[in-house]
């Protein structure tokens, strides 16, 4: 086992995922350096962290008197070396660009102590590619969180060709200790497990709209009020067992030949993006949005995830810890 305890954590990249990962560890009692080269992103991340803590306090997840202490555990840092050099674990969470990530890993390799584990929150790149040119390839690993990291317990852990068992064990033990649900993949695969499943669902949803079977709002309603609710408490293979594999085989035999198998997004979807209809951030996507309605929907989703956590995994409800042991 890796006998070096993980006490200090650095998160590289203060965007949507980075600030949420930093908050998740701060909620668990860790001191976290949150680094970004963009001062504006650091300021926005700090504001979002404070707003999230207020929301968590309002619903009783974090005692109000502890919210300030949790926020104080996160230190905004502009220089990568200053953020990473004291860290036992660094989690990279920058834009999905392989060259950018490789450059950061090379820099981290130079400035971090020899024992430091270098993890990436990448949603697509295998760790073997990220470890190219890094002297500590045995300590490079993927720890892929889902948004928002402080509410969704899953973390996909992916070893590269050179990643040691000690590194994987140390990461899984850490994640378990802070209430996460690590899933250690058996091998590298583009998109890992979660994004591959989501991509398959999105492809068929697009095909349903393309064929005129239903519009986007109807597809969303089927998911929200139908089998999506079951998936909050049971996985696909467990549900197949409950339904009966003979029935599942009959349905699959009839339906699989008609499912979409295209390798590209539909033309209408590409045209929508080309028109600048990018969703909530531009005010128009499949739905119309204002800044107020987008913020309100975000709060509703957060509260829904909290309720699901209370139902399916009461032990996951966040409580401020005294610190790592």
Residues with a catalytic annotation lie at 123, 144, 156, 195
CA 53/CA 241 separation, integer angstroms: 40
Q: Which residues contact 23 (CB under 8 A, 6 or more apart)?
A: 49, 52, 53, 70, 74, 149, 150
CA 156/CA 195 separation, integer angstroms: 10
Strand partners, 76: 34
> Given strand 154-159, what is the order of strands in its sheet?
74-77, 31-35, 8-12, 89-92, 117-120, 140-145, 154-159, 181-184
Count of CB atoms situated within 10 Å of the CB of 210: 15
CA 21/CA 29 separation, integer angstroms: 13
CA 177/CA 181 separation, integer angstroms: 10
């Amino acid at each position: 086992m890796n006998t070096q305890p993980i006490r200090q954590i650095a998160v590289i990249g203060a965007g949507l995922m980075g600030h949420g990962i930093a908050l998740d560890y701060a909620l668990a009692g860790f001191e976290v350096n949150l680094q970004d080269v963009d001062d504006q992103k650091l300021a926005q991340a700090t504001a979002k962290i404070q707003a999230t803590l207020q929301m968590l306090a309002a619903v009783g997840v974090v005692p109000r008197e502890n919210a300030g202490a949790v926020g104080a555990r996160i230190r905004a840092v502009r220089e990568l070396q200053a953020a990473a050099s004291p860290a036992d674990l660094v989690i990279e969470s920058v834009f999905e660009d392989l060259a950018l990530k490789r450059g950061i890993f090379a820099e981290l390799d130079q400035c971090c102590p020899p024992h430091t584990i270098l993890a990436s929150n990448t949603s697509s790149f295998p760790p073997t590619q990220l470890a190219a040119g890094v002297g500590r390839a045995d300590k490079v690993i993927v720890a892929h969180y889902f948004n928002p990291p402080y509410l969704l317990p899953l973390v996909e852990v992916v070893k590269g060709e050179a990643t040691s068992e000690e590194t994987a064990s140390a990461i899984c033990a850490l994640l378990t200790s802070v209430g996460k649900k690590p899933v250690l993949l058996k091998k590298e695969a583009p998109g890992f497990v979660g994004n591959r499943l989501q991509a398959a669902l999105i492809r068929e949803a697009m095909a349903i709209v393309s064929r005129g079977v239903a519009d986007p709002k109807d597809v969303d309603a089927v998911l929200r009020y139908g089998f999506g609710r079951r998936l909050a408490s049971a996985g696909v293979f467990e549900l197949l067992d409950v339904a009966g594999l003979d029935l599942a085989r009959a349905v699959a035999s009839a339906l699989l030949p008609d499912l979409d198998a295209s390798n590209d997004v539909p033309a209408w979807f590409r045209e929508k993006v080309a028109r600048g209809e990018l969703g909530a951030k531009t005010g128009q996507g499949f739905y119309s949005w204002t800044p107020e309605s987008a913020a309100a929907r975000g709060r509703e989703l957060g509260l829904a995830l909290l309720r699901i956590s209370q139902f399916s995994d009461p032990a996951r409800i966040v409580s401020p810890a005294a610190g790592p042991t």
